[in-house]
Each structure stands twice: as C-alpha cells, then as structure tokens.
Structure 1
C-alpha cells in the first residue's frame, strides 16, 4: 500500500522544489539523545552514529520564524536512504520546542537533499509555503544549510531541505544522558 492511504506524503503536496526527490532523512525528536541512540540502535541494528551539537556557536546563520535564532540542539545521524536523525532540543524557542509542546516526542520531519538550501528557500517561499527555521555555514568550509518548511497541513508534518556540507566537522562523543 502506498500514497496518502498509507500515511505517506503524496509528492503532489510537497513544495515544487522538493517534489519527486527521494526522502533522504527521517527526523525524530527525543527527550534524551543517549537514550534515543540506545533505543534506535537496537531497532535499526546500527551503532555507527555521528553526533553534532548545533547552535549559535557552531552554525553562523540561524533563523527562527524570521528572526535571528538562538536555539541549540544535539543530533545523532545514522544510516542512509533514508538517514535517521534523532534530535534533542537543548534550548529554544525553536520548531522542536513548538512541536514537543503540541505533539510530544516522535516523528517530526522528512528531509530532502538539495544542492542549495538558499535557492530552495527562495523557491519554496515564493510558492507560498512558510519558512519556519533555518541555518547555514556549519560545514568545515562554511557551507551546508538546512531549512524547515510549514507543510503540516499538506503533508502532516514538517519538511526539511538539506544542503549537506562538503566536509562535516568531526563527530562528537555521545553524551551520557541529558545535560
């Protein structure tokens, strides 16, 4: 079974620049990253997680609802096609704290890889879809970007455009519980 009847987004409801792209990432909000990694490692049979903390000190350009962003989050990435991303919100306000307040923890977004987050932001917002949160410059060369769009009414969750940096910073150690 596929399509809307299976709870999957219909490509026709995605913003045009993302329609037809494969889902590259499934984003899941967790209350504690270390516990989330333990649970999802057992579920996926994987333990090769990459860990990153993102915030004003590691992402030069952050925005939240059209204002400068001051949020921080820690993420764990594993696998591909699609990649699983676990997100622990460390400071808000952010789309993560909003979602947790309204929906609780669990599935948050679907991510799509794009060549340029900036170009995708221009195209998606020009089509009338609101930009909720974004960040850029987190790669070692100052590249890399992400942008979350408000597709809750059409898709049932948020969608993210991801411009993967050419070189990521080294992975951090997995934290031992919530900090």
Structure 2
C-alpha cells in the first residue's frame, strides 16, 4: 500500500513560494493567553515569552477576506526552532474566530519566514491560493508583516508567511503569575 493515510496532505501541497522553507512557527489558538503560557511553559521547560497585542492601533495595515481588518489579538512567542505562538483572539471577525467556531482551540497554522510578506502575498495568490488575512507595519521601523493563506483543503490547516521586523517593539508585561 502506498501513499499517505486519509486526511494527511500529499506532496506538493504548499504554495510554490513557500515550498522547501523550514517551518519557523507553530501557531496555537488558546482561550486565555496567561493560562496557555503557563501550560506551554511547563511543556517546553521555558518561560522566556514575548507578548504583543496586535490590532488597528498597532498594525497600520490589516486585511480580512479582501477588505479592511478590524480584528485584535494578543500573542505570546517563545523559541525559534520552530517558534511557538499562542494566540488569544480579542475581537473579530478574523480567521481566528472562524477557526474557533469551526474547530475549537488548538493547532491553527504553520508559519514560514519570508523576506517580504507583500512579495509572498503576490506570489502565493498568483499561484491560485487565496489570501485570508494579513497585517503589515507593526515593527518599530514600519516593517514586519504576516499573511495567512487558504490551505485548509490541501494542508489541513492554515499557512502563514512571516516577515519578521528588523526591530520589534518591546514586549508587553507578562500576565500575572508568570515570571
């Protein structure tokens, strides 16, 4: 018997501009960021988190399903091989609220680092894969971007292209009870 078991993606399912890149991030939706950080600190044996709130006040350009985005989320980042990102959705609509409604909390996306989020958007959408949600300009220098693509049918979850900003804003304070 050959091939992958039912429900697993087959070869060639990543959009060409992202194929072959290493997974840089595992994105997990959590109902409560502080509780998620406590759980994942115990799992990973580390509590070296960076925490950010992203939304219209901190990300100048947000899109959601082809229109302007108004969503807000709080994220916690740890590690780098790959990085774990916990996401607490604060306001929607967003791909986070959609996923929670359809699938509940847990694994949401795999992220891949790219030099330019906009170039990734142009190339991935040109290959026929839809853009679900994006944001750009959240770094201290106005750079940094993210773009989520509609790969649920081919990969079983969402794929994200991540342009890491040259200089991040300082981390927000950690929730009570952590460090």
Length-normalised TM-score, structure 1: 0.93
Give distance in 1, aligned partners of 2:75 and 2:60.
17
Give distance in 2, aligned partners of 1:6 and 1:63.
33
Q: Deviations over 1:66-106 (max 9, x none)?
A: 11000000000000110000000000000000000000000
Give distance in 2, aligned partners of 1:7 and 1:112.
22
Give distance in 1, aligned partners of 2:164 and 2:52.
14
Give distance in 2, aligned partners of 1:144 and 1:29.
21
Decide whether aligned partners of structure 1 residues 173 and 150 sit closer, same or farther in structure 2, where only a CA change above 3 A counts: same
1:113 aligns with 2:113: yes
Aligned to 1:30: 30
Give distance in 1, aligned partners of 2:32 and 2:165.
26
1:34-73 equivalences under 5 Å are 34-73=34-73
Task: Classify the secondary structure of the residue corresponding to 2:141.
Answer: coil
Task: Classify the secondary structure of the residue corresponding to 2:101.
Answer: helix
Give the count of matched residue pairs: 175
Q: Deviations over 1:133-169 (max 9, x none)?
A: 0000000000000000000000000000000000000
Aligned to 1:168: 168
Q: Cα offset for 1:175?
A: 3.0
Length-normalised TM-score, structure 2: 0.93
Give distance in 2, aligned partners of 1:25 and 1:70.
24
Task: Classify the secondary structure of the residue corresponding to 1:129.
Answer: coil
- Where does the alignment leave 5 or more consecutive residues of structure 2 unmatched? none
Q: Cα offset for 1:6?
A: 11
- Where does the alignment leave 5 or more consecutive residues of structure 1 unmatched? none
Give distance in 1, aligned partners of 2:76 and 2:69.
21
Q: CA RMSD in A?
A: 1.7
Decide whether aligned partners of structure 1 residues 7 and 112 sit closer, same or farther in structure 2, where only a CA change above 3 A counts: farther
Aligned to 1:19: 19
Task: Classify the secondary structure of the residue corresponding to 1:13.
Answer: coil
Q: Which runs of 4+ in 1 moved over 4 A?
A: 3-11
Contact 1:149 1:160 in 2 (8 A): yes
Decide whether aligned partners of structure 1 residues 147 and 82 sit closer, same or farther in structure 2, where only a CA change above 3 A counts: same
